[in-house]
Amino acid sequence: MDQNTIYDLAKQMDCSIDTGLTTEIQDYLNRQLNIKESLISLEENIIISHIKLKKNCLSEVKKIFFDLLHFIEYSSVFYVREEKGNLIEYTLLSSTIGNKGFLLRITFN
Sorted by where each begins, the domain ranges of the chain are: 3-108
pLDDT tens track for 32-65 = 999 999 999 999 889 999 999 998 899 999 999 9
Q: Report residue 91's pLDDT band, with 50, 70 and 90 as the boundaries.
A: very high
Q: Which residues contact 25 (CB under 8 A, 6 or more apart)?
A: 40, 47, 49, 68, 72, 104
Q: Report residue 99's pLDDT band, with 50, 70 and 90 as the boundaries.
A: confident
| Average pLDDT of the residues of the chain | 92
Q: Is the pLDDT of residue 30 over 90?
A: yes
CATH code for the part of the protein at 3-108:
3.30.460
Whether the predicted model's global pTM rises above the 0.85 cut: yes
